[in-house]
């Protein structure tokens, strides 16, 4: 449940709460490296090496922490301070670190939680704040098995307050811009509470000069499997199951179970990113390969193998190929078709290289299939290919 409270403040966006964030630590564009170091120290427990070992050890340590941050944000794990990474770092955010290690799991002991607003915003009316939270709780109740009830007593599970600067919780706010709010894991006392920086330009309308708080880092609304316009990021088999990937979620369809289960990708494979591009199962090797951008991972016995991610250039793709739309394993021929834009690339799994004469137009190899292909899978001897919410 920890992630729920770390991200709660941004879920007010559907209730049209807005803020106007400024650069997190006031660092100029020319100081990206220094900015990144301070950011990783604050939010990823990066501890620069001092003394004689600094020159030899620090680059590797810094890059490891940077990749950890990039993985958390779903970015390409390059280990480089690139524009996309800096943009993510400069976005408005929660004031607590993104990665923590705990000796035990901290969770709520009941499924009906009470909340109380102890201090309101100086920028909004009490009615506006209450309405915003009612809508936020409604969204969460649709995504997780919890109910939320307002309580006027002081012993509510979640106490919400708008505060400025040092508000006696050990995490002072930084004024307008940067850190917007922070929260605490479930527990007694301050546990479960949510604090907002009252100096932010909170508003209930998207006024000029203000922008919505970013939802990029937060759990999206759970996809509805009955949505007729639903599209998939990737589809693959895995042993006896079919797995459908969408955003940070996946559906697992097993022939022995009537219900289709949905879960977070990271609940089974913490190493895998969100928004997967493609995936396929090599049934002859009993492995699953997952692709995002120029990287891929290999899963065996429900575990991500060591040494991953690797670069897709290992398949023989030129540097001009930066991502894959879909992949389909042809078991009888021991070949894998990769769909990229309007082209089909064919990989010989036994030989370990791309077949001569490829890429070829998808229309040539797969007549009647529109491109680009979003997802593909083999199931019960049939080929299924998707474009948006259409399957072929």
Q: Is the dihedral of CA 18, 20, 25, 30 positive or negative?
A: positive
pLDDT for 141 equals 84
pLDDT for 388 equals 59
Average pLDDT over the chain reads: 76
Q: What is d(CA 268, CA 23) in angstroms, rounded to the nearest whole number?
A: 35
pLDDT for 366 equals 87
- Please give the annotated binding residues for Ca(2+), written as ranges: 157, 174-175, 191, 193, 197-198, 200, 233, 277, 279, 327, 374
User: Which structure tokens are listed for 87?
Assistant: 């943009």
pLDDT for 55 equals 46
H or E stretch covering 279 = strand 278-282
**Residue 261 — very low, low, confident or very high, per pLDDT cuts 50/70/90?**
low
pLDDT for 7 equals 38
Q: What residues contact 59, with CB distance under 8 A and at least 6 apart?
A: none
Cα–Cα distances in angstroms (integers) from residue 360 to residues 88, 257, 375, in the given order = 37, 40, 18
DSSP sequence for 97-140: -S----SS----SSSEEEEEEEE--SSS-HHHHHHHHHHHHHHH
Per the listing, tokens 């604090």 go with 195
Q: What is d(CA 170, CA 184) in angstroms, rounded to the nearest whole number?
A: 12
Average the pLDDT over each of 40-44, 51-55, 69-73 and give the range with the smallest value. Answer: 51-55
Cα–Cα distances in angstroms (integers) from residue 383 to residues 4, 235, 364, 375, in the given order = 39, 12, 16, 11
- Please give the annotated binding residues, written as ranges: 94, 157, 167, 169, 174-175, 182, 191, 193, 195, 197-198, 200, 233, 277, 279, 327, 374
**Domains identified in the chain and CATH numbers:** 2-19+103-212 (3.40.390.10), 29-90 (1.10.101.10), 234-391 (2.110.10.10)
Q: What is d(CA 54, CA 37) in angstroms, rounded to the nearest whole number?
A: 14
For residue range 9-45, list pLDDT tens digits in order.
343 433 333 333 333 333 334 578 888 888 888 888 8
pLDDT for 149 equals 92
- Please give the annotated binding residues for Zn(2+), written as ranges: 94, 167, 169, 182, 195
Within a 10 A sphere around the Cβ of 369, how many other Cβ atoms? 16
Q: In what order do the strands lie in the sheet with 241-246?
A: 234-238, 241-246, 249-253, 261-264
3-state SS, residue 3: helix
Average the pLDDT over each of 17-31, 42-56, 310-324 and give the range with the smallest value. Answer: 17-31
Please state the length of the chain: 392
For residue range 116-127, list pLDDT tens digits in order.
999 998 888 899
pLDDT for 220 equals 41
Cβ atoms of residues 173 and 140 within 8 Å:
no
Mean pLDDT, residues 293-298: 92
Per the listing, tokens 């035990």 go with 104
Q: What residues contact 68, with CB distance under 8 A and at least 6 apart?
A: 44, 99
Cβ atoms of residues 369 and 384 within 8 Å:
no
Rounded percentage of the chain residues whose pLDDT exceeds 90: 14
Cα–Cα distances in angstroms (integers) from residue 131 to residues 4, 17, 150, 285, in the given order = 19, 10, 12, 54
Provide the H-helix boundaries in 198-322. Answer: 265-268
Mean pLDDT, residues 198-220: 50
Please state the three-class secondary structure of 10-27 as a single string.
HHHHHHCCEECCCCCCCC
Mean pLDDT, residues 88-108: 67
pLDDT for 116 equals 92
DSSP sequence for 308-323: --EEGGGGT--TT---
Q: What is d(CA 211, CA 329) in angstroms, rounded to the nearest whole number?
A: 44
Q: Which has more pLDDT, 63 or 171?
A: 63
Most confident of 25-39, 253-267, 319-333: 319-333
For residue range 360-384, list pLDDT tens digits in order.
998 888 887 877 888 888 887 788 8
**Residue 100 — very low, low, confident or very high, per pLDDT cuts 50/70/90?**
low
pTM for this prediction: 0.45
Q: Which has more pLDDT, 300 or 267?
A: 300
Span between the terminal Cα atoms of the chain, in Å? 39
Most confident of 47-56, 197-206, 214-223, 363-372: 363-372
pLDDT for 259 equals 56
Per the listing, tokens 């928004």 go with 275
Q: Is 239 left (phi over 0), alpha (psi -120 to 50) or beta?
A: left
Q: What is d(CA 357, CA 276) in angstroms, rounded to the nearest whole number?
A: 28
């Amino acid at each position: 449940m920890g992630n729920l409270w770390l991200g709660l403040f941004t879920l007010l966006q559907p209730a049209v709460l807005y803020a106007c964030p400024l650069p997190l630590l006031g660092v100029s564009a020319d100081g990206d490296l220094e900015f990144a170091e301070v950011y990783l120290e604050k939010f990823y427990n990066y501890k620069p090496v001092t003394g004689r070992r600094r020159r030899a050890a620090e680059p590797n340590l810094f890059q490891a922490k940077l990749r950890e941050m990039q993985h958390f944000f779903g970015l390409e794990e390059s280990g480089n301070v690139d524009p996309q990474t800096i943009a993510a770092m400069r976005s408005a955010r929660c004031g607590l670190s993104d990665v923590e290690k705990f000796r035990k799991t901290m969770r709520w002991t009941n499924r009906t939680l009470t909340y109380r607003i102890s201090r309101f915003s100086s920028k909004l009316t009490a009615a506006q704040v209450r309405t915003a939270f009612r809508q936020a709780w409604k969204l969460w109740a649709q995504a997780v098995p919890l109910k939320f009830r307002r309580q006027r007593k002081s012993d509510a599970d979640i106490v919400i307050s708008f505060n400025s600067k040092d508000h006696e919780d050990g995490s002072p706010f930084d004024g307008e811009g940067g850190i917007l709010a922070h929260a605490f894991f479930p527990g007694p006392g301050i546990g479960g509470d949510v604090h907002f920086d009252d100096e932010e330009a909170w508003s209930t309308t998207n006024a000029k000069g203000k922008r919505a708080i970013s939802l990029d880092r937060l759990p999206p609304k759970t996809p509805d499997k009955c949505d007729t316009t639903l599209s998939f990021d990737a589809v693959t088999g895995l042993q006896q199951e079919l797995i459908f990937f969408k955003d940070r979620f996946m559906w697992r369809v097993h022939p022995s179970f009537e219900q289709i289960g949905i879960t977070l990708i990271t609940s089974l494979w913490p190493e895998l990113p969100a928004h997967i591009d493609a995936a396929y199962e090599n049934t002859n090797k009993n492995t699953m390969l997952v692709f995002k951008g120029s990287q891929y991972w290999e899963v065996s016995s429900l575990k991500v193998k060591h040494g991953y991610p690797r670069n897709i250039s290992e398949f023989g793709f030129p540097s001009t190929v930066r991502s894959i739309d879909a992949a389909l394993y042809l078991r009888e021929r021991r070949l894998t078709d990769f769909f990229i834009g309007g082209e089909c690339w064919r990989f010989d799994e036994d030989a370990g290289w791309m077949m001569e004469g490829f890429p070829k137009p998808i229309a040539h190899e797969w007549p009647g299939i529109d491109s680009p292909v979003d997802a593909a899978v083999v199931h019960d001897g049939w080929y299924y290919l998707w474009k948006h919410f259409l399957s072929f």
